[in-house]
Amino acid sequence: MLDTSRFNRRRLIPAITVLWIVGFALIYLWQTDSLTQIQLFVRAPPSTPPPPPPPLPSQPAPRGYRAVVYNLTDFGGVGDGKSVNTEAFERAIAAIKIYEDKGGGQLNVQAGKWLTAPFNLTSRMTLFLEEGAVILGIQDERYWPLMPPLPSYGFGREQAGPRYGSLIHGQHLKDVIITGHNGTINGQGKSWWTKHRKKLLNYTRGPLIQIMWSRDIIISNVTLRDSPFWTLHPYDCKNLTIANLTILAPVRGAPNTDGIDPDSCEDVLIENCYISVGDDGIAIKSGWDQYGIAYGRPSTNISIRNLTIRSVVSAGISIGSEMSGGVSNISVQNIHIWESRRGVRIKTAPGRGAYVKNILYRNITFDNLRVGIVIKTDYNEHPFGYDPKALPDIKEISYFGIHGTGVRVPVRIQGSPEIPIRDVVFQDMSVGITNRKKHVFQCSYVEGRVIGYIFPAACENLDIYNERGELVRRSDSQNVSDIDYSF
């Protein structure tokens, strides 16, 4: 029989060769045509000159992080402490904004002193302060923009009408990080404090950093110092992490330099910070009297842990006094407060309205304080037109593991007939006192209980339970007042 397979293979070889040659020719022609089109596109002059592009990134961004990384010097920044760098910051942030939908960008502030007027951040941005980098706020208030009053405050906190903006500002942002290798943001607040005392300012001073109506914010690993007013003020923000900060101001002569003031914020973590300032180390707020009641945004779900705080003229950690949107679900744990006027404080008044509830203090150490635990219900500082019949509800306050030495008055809880304080719990408390005067555990119009042994002995307003949770003594003296401000 004739073998046809060899014959068929011989016929296929020329056909395959022809197809290979045709395919190669088509690929060559396609590439040549494409190159011609690209060359024509590049050489064709545009009808109008395009705007100059931003400078190329100084370095590739870390994979999975920001799309681009710039240095401030890419935009003409000069870190000599004298040149004003506001335009450099603004140009850099505008360049980062272009990449907002592509992962955002990082701005590196290198070692040096970078003088600037206030500037605004953008979403999906990282502001990174390298070791030795110092951002300096310009001291002439004419360079600080005026802003409308906060809606939950009605007007400037110090003056009617507008208020000064913050040195670093942002509104309606998402995914913003301020971090670094412990670089510094310095508000150079001394001139502001002096003008405030001399009543030379027409508007309320501005914070160092204020982020408003934003979410997914991280502020970490930097030093904040000498703010003109409150240092770090997140306002109506959600999902906020503040960690590993050093916050400094003179402990005297630096009025209202609170460290961290979360204001109408939700889902906040504050941890591993050192704070030594001229007012409250932390003050949780939610609006002022009728304006805060109308705005109606509480501060809630806030965890504060692992802090060391010094506040010679005020308190380590406060709630209020501006709490008219409500404050709830607050955890304060593992805190060391030293050389301060007060330790942990809740302050409010008739007119504030709203509530403070479900507050936990655990593992708090006092070292050389005038008063350790404070609840005050007559903090009378109000805007014009407030309603004195708007009474706050204060309840569910727990103190577990409170220890310390050198405390003049360990507890002062001052309720009133209008604002009684309910459901207060003490357990595992031992605070060394500076003298043996009586009435160092002071109470007024308070209801609650003590579980197990505590020192000093509790006021008669509270029920006593043993370690097993069994009632030992029921108090019938909740309305007794034993408040003594003479020492």
- DSSP 8-state code for residue 282: E
Q: What is the predicted pLDDT for the residue at 65?
A: 78
- DSSP 8-state code for residue 26: H
Q: What is the predicted pLDDT for the residue at 51?
A: 42
Q: What whole-number distance in Å separates Cα of residue 368 and Cα of residue 370?
A: 7
For residue 374, give every residue at least 6 positions away whose Cβ sits within 8 Å of its Cβ, in sequence order, or none.
315, 342, 343, 344, 345, 346, 347, 412, 413, 414
State the average pLDDT for the chain.
89
pTM of the prediction?
0.87
- CA-wise closest residue to 122 among 71, 69, 169: 169
Give the mean model confidence (pLDDT) for residues 221-230: 98
pLDDT digits (tens, 9 = 90+) for 18-34: 444 545 444 444 433 43
SS (H, E, C) 432-484: EECCCCCCCEEEECEEEEEEEEEECCCCCCCEEECCCCCEEECCCCCCCECCC
Q: What is the predicted pLDDT for the residue at 138?
A: 98
Predicted confidence (pLDDT) at residue 114 exceeds the cutoff of 60: yes
Q: pLDDT band at 125, cuts 50/70/90?
A: very high
Give the mean model confidence (pLDDT) for residues 402-429: 97
According to DSSP, the β-strands at 393-414 and 209-212 are unpaired
pLDDT over 90, % of the chain: 81
Q: What is the predicted pLDDT for the residue at 28?
A: 42
pLDDT digits (tens, 9 = 90+) for 327-347: 999 999 999 999 999 999 999
Cβ neighbours, 10 Å, residue 418: 14
265: left (phi over 0), alpha (psi -120 to 50) or beta: beta
Q: What whole-number distance in Å separates Cα of residue 267 and Cα of residue 215?
A: 10
Q: Yes or no: say if 408 and 435 are a contact pair by the CB < 8 Å rule.
A: yes
The structure tokens listed for 379 are 């903090």
Give the mean model confidence (pLDDT) for residues 430-459: 92
pLDDT digits (tens, 9 = 90+) for 231-257: 999 999 999 999 999 999 999 999 999
Give the mean model confidence (pLDDT) for residues 285-308: 98
| Range of lowest pLDDT (37-41, 105-109, 391-395, 424-428) | 37-41
Q: What 3-state class would DSSP assign to 100?
A: helix
CA 142 to chain centre: 26
Which residues are tagged catalytic?
Answer: 279
pLDDT digits (tens, 9 = 90+) for 451-469: 999 999 999 999 999 999 9
Which long-range CB contacts under 8 A does 481-487 form with residues at least 24 apart? 481/443, 481/444, 481/445, 482/439, 482/442, 482/443, 482/444, 483/412, 483/414, 483/442, 483/443, 483/444, 484/439, 484/442, 487/408, 487/409, 487/435, 487/437
According to DSSP, the β-strands at 59-60 and 68-71 are antiparallel
